[in-house]
Amino acid sequence: MPDRPYVIDQMISAKMIAARIEELCAEIQAEFNGTDKLVVVGLLRGSFVFIADLVRELDLPIEVDFLEASSYGDAMESSREVRILKDLRGAIEGRDVLVVEDIVDTGHTLHHVVNLLRSRAPARLKSIALLDKPDRREIDMKADWTGFEIPDEFVVGYGIDFAQRNRNLGYIGKVRFT
């Protein structure tokens, strides 16, 4: 639990997120047009709201699976050590795969996950992140699609938490300590 009081300032509204998801899904559908099934892999826990909205908007045959990777714990800074806490249930060899991440900052988590999944020989492997913080990047890793580029601020909402709080906000907000 956060040990000092904070407020949350809205950065990206629910309407802006919904509009951007529509645009992104049009691009994803064009990329994966003709697929027999797209395996959408959500990185838990922060991506669960984003993945739900994405799959509802996509007009493709879809299978959903989840992978839980951690580099934060309850901290505000990445530890840079990526641990897989929950692996996929299904095989992805020879299949089309879309990895869904909530936020790319240092790049370590997405890099680790993409390399892990690539080693399992999918037919195509693409990634999407709701948020991108390029100012925090430590390794050269960028999602194939990005919802919003944001400054180096600690954010919550729309599935993203601060010590397991604020995931239920319908918008993206910046944490400001008071």
- Show the tokens assigned to 63: 């299978």
Closest CA to 101 of 68, 58, 136: 68
**Residue 110, number of CB atoms within 10 A of its CB:** 24
Write the DSSP symbol of residue 171: S
109 touches 101 (CB < 8 A): yes
Q: What residues are labeled active site?
A: 105
- Residues 88, 62: Cα–Cα separation, whole Å: 15
What is the length of the chain?
Answer: 178
